Homo-oligomer: A and B are copies of this chain.
Amino acid sequence: MDADVAVRDGRLSIRWGDGHRSIFHAVWLRDHCPCPACRHPATGQRLLETAGIPDDLRLASARLAGAVVEAVWSDGHVTALDPAWLRHHCYCDADRATHRPRRRFWRAEGRPGLPEAQHRDIVADADALREWLAAIDVYGFAVLRGVPGVPGEVTRVVELFGYVRETNYGRLFDVRSVVNPNNLAYTGLGLSCHTDNPYRDPTPTLQLLHCLSSSAEGGDSVVVDGFEVAERLRATAAGKFDLLARVPVAFRFADETADLRSERPVVTLDVGGEVAAVHLNNRSKAPLRIEADLVEPWYAAYRTFTRMLEDPAYQLRFKLAPGDLFIVDNLRVLHGRSAFSGAGQRHLQGCYADMDGLRSTLAVLERSRADVIGHLFERMRRYGTGAYLGEPVSITAHMLQAAHVAERDGAPPALIAAALFHDVAYVVHQPNDDPALDDRHPEVGARYLATHFVPAVSEPVRLHVAAKRYLCAVEPGYRSALSPASVRTLAVQGGPHGEAEAREFEASPFARDAVRLRRYDDAAKVAGAATPDLDHYRPLLEGLLIDRSAP
C-alpha cells in the first residue's frame, strides 16, 4: 500500500495513495497496539490495560517500514500496524458517515410481499439461512414457510441461529384460541399491535410464532415497523415524540408464580438520538406515576402513536397457515392479530430468543461465505442468459450494457453498480418467469441488494420503474422513444405519473440517481453490443458492500 506516514502535532498522520488523509491520536494508536504483549495472539483480546498507558507517553516517530506502519513510543515500545487495518479504522467524518446499520424502515404501502424463506432451504443451505437472517436484521421480521407441523419445532428453528430465552412461560408456550363468536368480549378484544413482555428486563429481543393448525376464518397476523412509525411521529409531532421518549412507563404482569415489572419509555433513544427500541403493550401498561402536568400531554402523545400504529398504511397483513412461522425483532416490530370470525381452531406455539445470537450467526455466515459478489455473478451467468421480456438481449447482457453506459457517462461507483444489478430480481427470484415479477421486480431486487450493498446501490434500483413513469409524465418525447416492450409494460406498471405522484417521486433522495439509471436502462437494449465482463466490476463492487464483520 502506498502511503505517506508522519508524526504531526503528536499524532500519526497518513496520506494514502488515493489522496485520503487519516489522523490517529496517540492514545488511540497505543490502545490498539497488536503486539503479543498488548493483545493476546490466540484470542485477539486486549492484554494492555488502557488505564495503565502513561499519561506522558508520546509518539516519538512513525514510518512506513515494508508492509507495516511502524510507530515508536517515547518509552521505547514499538507498535507495528497493518496499513489496511488503519485505513479501515480511519475515523474522519467522511469515513464515519459510511458506517451505518443496514436496517431499513418500511410501511405496508408499496411493499410487494413479505421477506420469507422455505424451511427446507434454510436447513440445508447456508446461503438461504444467511439471507433469511439478514432480512430479519434489515426489516425486523420475516416469515418461514413449510415448517414441519411438529410441536416444539419453533425451538428447533431458533437453534438454527441462536438460543431460546426461557422464561416463566417455559422454553415455549402454546397460543390456542378457541373461536367462540357468541363471546363478543373475546372476539371483540382487538389484539392491537404490541411488543411482547415489556414488563421483563431485559425484554426478549426476538419472538417466534409457529402455526400448527388454523381452521378459523379471519385471524390475520399484522406487523408494523415501530421505528418507521416513531420516525413519522417525530417528523409530524416532535413534542409528542419527545414525551414518549422521556416519560417512563411501568409495565406489569402478575400471576400466581410470577410478578414481573419494568419501567421504560415507550420509545427508547440511543445516545445518538436514534430510535433504539419501542416498548408498547396496552394490556400490561401499569398506572402512570408521573408529574401531574405531564399526564394529559403524555396520554395525548400515546394515543396519537397507538392510533398511527393501527393505520393500514403501516400495517402489513398476512394469514398464517399451518407450517408458517413468523419472527419479529421484538424491540422494533409490533405484532397483532385481527378478529376471528366463524368457527374453528387455531393453535400456535411461540418462544423467545435474542438478537445477539442471530446477528452472530449472520456475521459468521457472511464472513465464511465464498463471497456475495461471486455468488451473484454465478446466478447472473446461470439464470440471466434467457430472453428478456421481448427485448433483443438477455437479462445479463442488458445489465452489463447498462453498467457500461453508466461507466462511460462518468457515473459514481454506486450508480454503476445499480445499473449492473437493476434487474437482478430476475436472477435471484425463483421462479423468474413469475408474471407478477414484472410489476414487483424493482422492489424484489432492491430488497435483495439492500441486504448486501449500501443504499446508493439498492435505492435507485427500487425507483427505476417509477423513474420511467416519471419521465413519461414530465419529459416531452421520452415516451415515444421507449422500446416496444417497455411501452407494453408501462401499463402494468401504472402508466405515466400524475402530478402528485411526480412531485412525490422528486422528493425522494435517490430520484436523480433513479432517473440517470433509467436512461442507462433504456440505452442498454442493443443486440450484440460489446461490454466488459462481470469480473471487471468486482473491485468497484467490493467497495460498496455493507461492512459488518470488520472489528
A 500-551 contacts with B by CB, 8 A: 549, 551
Whose C-beta in chain B lies nearest to the C-beta of A101? B263
Q: Indicate if A478 sits at the interface (CB-CB under 8 A).
A: no
- How many residues of chain A get a CB closer than 8 Å to chain B's CBs? 89
Determine the distance from Cα of A407 to Cα of B323 in the docked complex, in whole angstroms: 70
Residues of chain B contacted by A289 (CB below 8 angstroms): 89, 91, 96, 99
Whose C-beta in chain B lies nearest to the C-beta of A37? B185
Contact B284 A45 (CB under 8 A): yes
Contact B551 A364 (CB under 8 A): no
Residues of chain B contacted by A549 (CB below 8 angstroms): 259
Q: Indicate if A176 sits at the interface (CB-CB under 8 A).
A: no
Q: Given A271-B247, A284-B46, A258 and B364 touching (CB < 8 A)?
A: yes
Residues of chain B contacted by A36 (CB below 8 angstroms): 185
Residues of chain B contacted by A166 (CB below 8 angstroms): 163-164
Whose C-beta in chain B lies nearest to the C-beta of A306? B51
Q: Indicate if A53 sits at the interface (CB-CB under 8 A).
A: yes
Q: Indicate if A168 sits at the interface (CB-CB under 8 A).
A: yes
**Least Cβ–Cβ distance between A331 and chain B, in angstroms:** 9
Contact A248 B262 (CB under 8 A): no
Determine the distance from Cα of A44 to Cα of B251 in the docked complex, in whole angstroms: 13
Residues of chain B contacted by A93 (CB below 8 angstroms): 291-292
Contact B303 A551 (CB under 8 A): no
Q: Indicate if A283 sits at the interface (CB-CB under 8 A).
A: yes
**Least Cβ–Cβ distance between A513 and chain B, in angstroms:** 27
Q: Given A27-B296, A165-B165, A356-B260, A271 and B246 touching (CB < 8 A)?
A: yes
Q: Indicate if A458 sits at the interface (CB-CB under 8 A).
A: no
Q: Indicate if A156 sits at the interface (CB-CB under 8 A).
A: no
**Least Cβ–Cβ distance between A170 and chain B, in angstroms:** 10
Determine the distance from Cα of A90 to Cα of B89 in the docked complex, in whole angstroms: 53
Residues of chain B contacted by A45 (CB below 8 angstroms): 253, 283-284
Whose C-beta in chain B lies nearest to the C-beta of A28? B295
Contact A51 B307 (CB under 8 A): yes
Q: Given A50-B306, A272-B248, A201 and B356 touching (CB < 8 A)?
A: yes
New A-B contacts (11) at CB < 8 Å, excluding given A28-B299, A51-B282, A163-B165: A25-B292, A28-B287, A45-B284, A50-B285, A50-B303, A93-B291, A96-B291, A168-B360, A248-B270, A248-B271, A260-B363
Which residue of the partner chain, among B43, B47, B202, contacts A354 with CB atoms under 8 Å? B202
**11 contacts across the A-B interface (CB closer than 8 A):** A23-B292, A28-B288, A31-B299, A50-B285, A51-B192, A165-B165, A168-B360, A202-B355, A202-B356, A258-B364, A262-B356
Bitwise interface map of A from 356 to 376 toward B, beta carbon under 8 Å scored 1, else 0: 110110011001000000000
Q: Indicate if A313 sits at the interface (CB-CB under 8 A).
A: no
Contact B49 A299 (CB under 8 A): no
Contact B282 A50 (CB under 8 A): yes
Q: Indicate if A67 sits at the interface (CB-CB under 8 A).
A: no
Q: Given A248-B272, A259-B367, A364-B258, A299 and B50 touching (CB < 8 A)?
A: yes
Residues of chain B contacted by A255 (CB below 8 angstroms): 43
Q: Indicate if A73 sits at the interface (CB-CB under 8 A).
A: no
Residues of chain B contacted by A46 (CB below 8 angstroms): 282-285
Determine the distance from Cα of A259 to Cα of B202 in the docked complex, in whole angstroms: 21
Contact B200 A356 (CB under 8 A): yes
Which residue of the partner chain, among B185, B248, B288, contacts A47 with CB atoms under 8 Å? B185
Whose C-beta in chain B lies nearest to the C-beta of A22? B292
Q: Given A167-B357, A258-B360, A551 and B287 touching (CB < 8 A)?
A: yes
Contact B286 A551 (CB under 8 A): yes
Residues of chain B contacted by A107 (CB below 8 angstroms): none
Contact B303 A260 (CB under 8 A): no
A 44-97 contacts with B by CB, 8 A: 44-51, 53, 89, 91-93, 96
Which residue of the partner chain, among B189, B260, B307, contacts A360 with CB atoms under 8 Å? B260
Determine the distance from Cα of A159 to Cα of B288 in the docked complex, in whole angstroms: 33
A 91-137 contacts with B by CB, 8 A: 91-93, 96, 99
Q: Given A91-B295, A205-B202, A284-B45, A53 and B303 touching (CB < 8 A)?
A: yes
Enumerate the 10 nearest inter-chain pairs by beta-carbon distance, A residue then B residue, closest first.
A202-B202, A259-B363, A51-B306, A45-B283, A163-B166, A200-B356, A27-B299, A25-B295, A89-B287, A201-B356
Whose C-beta in chain B lies nearest to the C-beta of A53? B303
Residues of chain B contacted by A49 (CB below 8 angstroms): 190, 192, 282, 306
Determine the distance from Cα of A166 to Cα of B551 in the docked complex, in whole angstroms: 24
A 414-445 contacts with B by CB, 8 A: none
Whose C-beta in chain B lies nearest to the C-beta of A36? B185
Q: Given A47-B185, A50-B302, A289-B96, A295 and B27 touching (CB < 8 A)?
A: yes
Q: Given A200-B356, A295-B28, A302-B50, A271 and B258 touching (CB < 8 A)?
A: no
Residues of chain B contacted by A168 (CB below 8 angstroms): 163, 357, 360
Q: Indicate if A183 sits at the interface (CB-CB under 8 A).
A: no
Determine the distance from Cα of A190 to Cα of B199 in the docked complex, in whole angstroms: 39
**Least Cβ–Cβ distance between A166 and chain B, in angstroms:** 4
Determine the distance from Cα of A201 to Cα of B303 in the docked complex, in whole angstroms: 30
